[in-house]
Amino acid sequence: MKYIFFFSILLSSLFSIELKIASYNVENLFDMSYNKTEYPEYIPYKHNWNRKTLSIKLKNISEVICELDADIIGLQEIENENALNLLQKSLKKYGCNYRYSAITSKKRISIQVALLSKIPIKHHKDIVVKRVGGIRNILEVKFDIDGESLYIYVNHWNSKHSPESKRILSAISLKKRLLSLPKKSKYILLGDFNSNYNEYKTIGKTGINSILNAKIFKKSKMRRDEFRHYNLWLELLPYRRWSHNFYGEKQGLDAILLPPSLFSSRGINYVDNSFAVFRRDYMFTSKGYVNRWQYKNKKHLGRGYSDHFPIFATLSTNPYKFKKERELLSCSIESLYQKNTKLPCYLKRVKVISKHKRAVTIQDRSGKIIIYGVEKQIKKGKFYSVDVYKTKIYKGENEVIGFSMNLVE
């Protein structure tokens, strides 16, 4: 990869350079050295956490990363530099060599964020959010791509068990660093933000939406030279926007956020609609659940992968081309029962007349239909506009299963 990369740089006047960038929360990769900062279930030689189960864990993570085949991949939940080195050796063993690496180094914390690369790293450093306490550092890694600097920031913000105020602290520290970069710098924000793309609709002020200004808006707004970020989840249909499934709650906790500088006519830019979630059959159980690393009855079972799926996107030295965004046609609930109705379409104003767990029944003047998989904040008696992307018949009943809902005031 190294020689191909430098050869492509020499020929950059004739051919564009493409880079695949990814992020993956590997779910607790710990080594076999006792550091007194481990989670209880990862204390070496307890709970069946031993060299054999570690080797299985390394093999399984390597299987995913090798098939993903990214040029640069940000990682979350890596215990320390030794654990990262073990992963590098495992990857090389299974046929994908990541020669370059970087990892944060905050002391007295259980897990770090890291990065593996097939191309040389020019510089890396920690962004310290808070010197004490359980808030992880953010990793800054700098690359030289065809004579232009590219910064990648690997994040792992506090879990949803923590208050949003802690994630806001991470966002503020990151924003401060970004504003110190030269104007129009090229950078990528990626990692496990523990925040959904529309988190602000549920809890109000958030780190990802409010501080980093990554709310829901069209790509055309990225023409403006402002401090804002486009969350690549917005390229996918709403029902596909997830990389983590916690007891039926599908969310895009992992994300790739891009600034306006990556939607430009010069240097390296985003390749439109290249964002995707990496999912394979082996990453699911036979019952369709996420095949996460198995820990049961206080024992590691030595099988499984992670509770997150990797996400990835592509950059290129070609100019970014804005495309005209498609407007949805209006429809009625009655029309959703007809075979010739073209989707997607939108229901302008419907009322939620009943709710049971994650399913609601909506109604307009033409009829009723069930929507399955709604978010917790959807309330009975309120009116919503609904973008409908997919329907199906389940037990003889029509259901909407691909959609987005917005409250109508």
DSSP 79-144: --HHHHHHHHHHHHHTT----EEEE---SS-S-EEEEEESS---EEEEE-S-SSSSPPPEEEEEEE
CA 197 – CA 134 distance, rounded (Å): 24
For 25, other C-beta atoms within 10 Å of its C-beta total 26
Helices (H), 27-68: 51-68
Q: Over the stretch 192-243, which tens digit does the pLDDT of each residue have?
A: 999 999 999 889 999 999 999 999 998 999 988 899 999 999 999 888 999 9
Residue 406: pLDDT over 90: no
Greatest C-alpha distance within the chain: 66
Residue 14: pLDDT over 70: no
pLDDT of residue 95: 94
CA 43 – CA 235 distance, rounded (Å): 41
Architecture of 2-316 per CATH?
A: 4-Layer Sandwich (3.60)
Domain spans, the chain: 2-316, 329-407
pLDDT of residue 91: 98
Are 2-316 and 329-407 the same fold in CATH?
A: no
Q: pTM of the predicted model, to two decimals?
A: 0.88
Q: Over the stretch 139-167, which tens digit does the pLDDT of each residue have?
A: 999 999 999 999 999 999 999 999 999 99
**Higher pLDDT pick, 29 / 246:** 29
CATH topology for 329-407? Answer: OB fold (Dihydrolipoamide Acetyltransferase, E2P) (2.40.50)
Residue 84: pLDDT over 50: yes
- Could you tell me the pLDDT band of residue 376, with boundaries at 50, 70 and 90? confident
Token pair, residue 107, equals 């002391």
- Smallest CA-to-CA distance from 250 within 259, 258, 241 is with 241
CA 231 – CA 241 distance, rounded (Å): 11
Torsion of CA 160, 165, 170, 176, to 10 degrees: 150
Give Cα 116 to chain centroid, integer Å. Answer: 17
Residue 10: pLDDT over 50: no
The angle that helices 81-93 and 51-68 make with each other, rounded to 10 degrees, is 60
Q: Over the stretch 307-353, which tens digit does the pLDDT of each residue have?
A: 999 999 999 999 998 887 777 899 999 999 998 888 999 999 999 99
**Higher pLDDT pick, 325 / 269:** 269
CB-based contacts of 80, cutoff 8 Å, min separation 6: 31, 35, 103, 112
CB-based contacts of 167, cutoff 8 Å, min separation 6: 157, 158, 193, 194, 195, 206, 207, 208
Mean pLDDT of 181-191: 97
Residue 1: pLDDT over 60: no
Torsion of CA 268, 274, 277, 281, to 10 degrees: -130
The rounded mean pLDDT for the chain is 93
Helix, strand, coil proportions of the chain in percent (round to 5)? 20, 35, 45
Residue 165: half-sphere exposure toward Cβ, Cα within 13 Å: 1
CA 127 – CA 142 distance, rounded (Å): 13
